[in-house]
Amino acid sequence: MMGCGIDIGSRTTKLALYDSVKQKMVAREIMDSQLDRGNQVEKLLDRALKTAGCVRKDIQKVVGTGYGRESVSLVDETVTEITCHARGVLHFMPGARTIIEIGGQDSKVTKLSAEGKIRDFAMNDRCAAGTGRFLEVVAKLLDVDIRAMGKAASRSKNPAKINSTCVVFAESEIIGLLSKKTPRSEIIAGVQNSIVSRVMGLAGRNLETPAVFTGGVALVEGMAARFEKKSGIKIRVSRQPQFTGALGAAILAAEGT
């Protein structure tokens, strides 16, 4: 059975095809989210079908998740991001107990039981200070490619203190640091530490292992290491972390649930 999962986020839209016979993701596509989500998803699906060598009638079901999951008529059913990310993580890492997910506009910490059931979760969706959006703002402010931020932060020996919990105030704080000639590497490292502290505040004291880091921010070099330093435990980055939600949705679609 072939399932299609669509994760429509605030920043990017991801699509995955999952073959339940082969038990693997056979195609994946990603694109910056657009206003015309229906047309965008059609394009992504056509590309994915071509990659997988399939046609639309091979797809049993389409499950949507993410910020814009209710906005596309192609979707047969919608499922929360928390459920889909958990399913996607468990596909790659059975036995995972904690999921740290940081996307463009929100961050979540999900705790799983030994059986893989969602036991508890916490989400920050009211402020961008603990999300990928914060990194985007900082990258633009510092004129640094977001893909190079991790490498820059690794040169830091004395990360700057970013005390503000609001992106607007943090931006003013960073401008102040720049006026004092604070090195960009120190500022970036400070921003990364600030995001980690914000998200760890959601996690509480008991962060069980194995712990898995997923979402687009997991691709930023050095972020997982900063979580490890803050938490004192090993943090594993999920395989293809941007597609975890779409994969989970596709698996649920293939299972017909």
Fill in the DSSP letter of residue 161. P
What pLDDT does residue 127 have?
66
Partnered with residue 1 across adjacent β-strands are: none
Highest-confidence range of 15-24, 30-39, 71-80, 248-257, by mean pLDDT? 15-24
The pLDDT, as a whole number, for residue 123 is 87
* pLDDT score of 196 more than 70: yes
- Give the number of other Cβ atoms within 10 Å of residue 33's Cβ: 17
Say how many CA atoms lie within 13 Å of 89 toward its Cβ. Answer: 30
CB 98 within 8 A of CB 111: yes
Closest CA to 220 of 163, 158, 138: 138
How many Å apart are CA 58 and CA 3, to the nearest integer? 9
What type of residue sits at position 247? L
Instruction: Supply the mean pLDDT for the chain.
Output: 90
Domains of the chain by start residue, with CATH: 1-93+243-257 (3.30.420.40), 95-237 (3.30.420.40)
pTM of the shown model: 0.90
- Put the strands of the sheet holding 24-32 in their side by side order: 24-32, 12-19, 2-8, 59-65, 77-78
Mean pLDDT, residues 99-128: 87
pLDDT band of residue 165 (cuts 50, 70, 90) is low
Q: What percent of the chain clears pLDDT 90, i.e. is strictly above it?
A: 59
The tens digit of pLDDT for each residue in 115-146 reads 999 999 988 765 666 778 888 888 888 999 88
- 3-state class of 230 per DSSP? helix
